[in-house]
Structure 1
Amino acid sequence: MDIQQDYFAFLGLPAAYDLDVRELTRRFRELQKQLHPDRHAHLSEREQRMSVQYTAYLNEAYSTLKSPLLRAQYLLKKRGVDTTNESSVKLDPMFLFEQMELRESLEQAKVAADAEDQLETMADSVESQLALLEKQFSACIVSESDSALAEAEVVIRKMQFAVKLQKEIEQAENELDL
Structure 2
Amino acid sequence: VSLVVFCVYSLGRGVVDGMSLLRPTPIARESVPAPKKTSGVNDCGASDVKLSLTAASQGVPVGGSLDFTASISYEGTSSCLLDLSDVVLTVSSGDQTIYSSDSCPADPNRQLLAKTSDMNRTSQKMTWGTSRTGDQCVEDQSKLPKVGRGTYTAQLSLKNAHKAVSDPVTIQVQ
Question: Which structure exhibits the higher relative contact order, with contacts defined as CA atoms closer than 8 Å and separated by 6 or more residues?
Answer: 2
- Which structure has the larger Rg over C-alpha atoms? 2
- Give the TM-score normalised by the residue count of structure 1: 0.26
Higher strand content, 1 or 2 = 2
